[in-house]
Amino acid sequence: MVDQNDPKRREHDLNQALEALHFGFRAITAHPDQRLAPLGYSRVHHRILYFVARNQGCAVNELLGIMRVSKQYLNRPLRRLIADGYIETRRDDADRRVKRLSLSAQGRRLEEALTGEQRAQLAEVFRRAGPVAEAGWRKVMALLAGG
């Protein structure tokens, strides 16, 4: 049990948690980063593909809200994914000013390759850690995300 009243010990434990977060993030992003590099893409491209895949037909403004990012953050990489044929756009039937986004077949293949590896990593880690540890991890991540 961690002594929460010992500031030095607590700082040490929190630093270990930060290091675990850093190295865990690096491990979960390593494969997608390697796959994206030859395309000249980065993690933001993967994030866009991931969220469009789970919100097919969303408007650009909806995607901004889902991802909790600014228009500036999204603009250039989204335009590139569209130009390269990974994301398709169509005008909204009710409001022609609104662009609806969806993955092309090429975009689905890339997103599945990138995210599929990450799902497999998480599945294996959760299997090894057990359901109680997985539930704890999910709770911590939700709290970090503001939930």
* 17-29: pLDDT as tens digits: 999 999 999 999 9
Supply the DSSP symbol for 3: -
Each residue of 62-93: pLDDT tens digit? 999 999 999 999 999 999 999 999 999 999 88
Mean pLDDT of 109-133: 97
- Looking at the domain 28-144, which fold is it? Arc Repressor Mutant, subunit A (1.10.10)
Mean pLDDT of 111-136: 97
**DSSP state letters, 57-118:** TEEHHHHHHHHT--HHHHHHHHHHHHHTTSEEEEE-SS-TTPEEEEE-HHHHHHHHHHHHHH
pLDDT at position 5 = 81
Annotated domain spans of the chain? 28-144
Q: Is 55 helix (H, G, I), strand (E, B) or coil?
A: coil
